[in-house]
Amino acid sequence: MEIRSYNQKDERGWVRCRTLSFLDTAYFDNVLREKETYENPSIELVAVSDDKIVGLIDIEYELEAGTICSREKDTGGMIWHIAVHPDYQRKKIGFKLLFEAEKIAKELGLVYLEAWTRDDEWVNKWYECNNFKNVQSYLHVFIEGSEELTGLLKCETGGLQPVQAFAHYVGKEKEKVKRIYKRVHECIRYDKQLN
């Protein structure tokens, strides 16, 4: 297996790897049809085995603190994507991608990495095992069906009926929100100090 910089020819493999790796997670609905591009500089690496993209990591980083990441004092890098193809998981590919990305981030003078993920226990354990600290969280709330939507949304366009909604809940009554709506995920921020 080789870890190298992403190039445009990798896009189809990148999309497939990311999509398949997200299927069995709380992010199963976050499907991309093409690879994102970034306004700011980025570290974009892929793991390749048998001419196939089997892992990836994308980190967009700041030149000025607080422009991408949450901290306003330190320059950081936001991990937008990290994924390993299901057929290649449990082979330390994610760790190797993170390790290479961290080396580059340190050379660039970044102070920390930030990542957000949902409440999959195994994903959260992976971050914790790789020395990320749980810093904060809020809820991703999926609102579906007439029962959950009744009285929640008002539509000014005649003939248009909302059938689903997605919301962020940042209040203090998380348990109450979890009881009201069927699909709610904790969205957790992790930080990792690089120096």
pLDDT digits (tens, 9 = 90+) for 32-50: 999 999 999 999 999 999 9
User: 143-178 as b/e, with b when 16 or more CB fall inside 10 Å?
Assistant: beeeebeeeeeeeeeeeeeeeeeeeebeeeeeeeeb
Mean pLDDT confidence for 112-121:
96
pLDDT digits (tens, 9 = 90+) for 144-173: 988 888 888 878 898 888 889 999 999 999
Percentage of the chain exceeding pLDDT 90: 85
Q: What is the model's pLDDT at position 195?
A: 79
Domain ranges for the chain? 2-134, 139-183
* Alpha carbon 78 to chain centroid, angstroms: 9
CA-to-CA distance for 139 and 188, rounded, in angstroms? 9
Mean pLDDT confidence for 187-194:
97
CATH 3.40.630.30 fits 2-134, yes or no: yes
Asked if 64 and 40 count as a contact pair (C-beta separation under 8 A), the reply is: no
**Residue 176: pLDDT band with limits 50, 70, 90:** very high
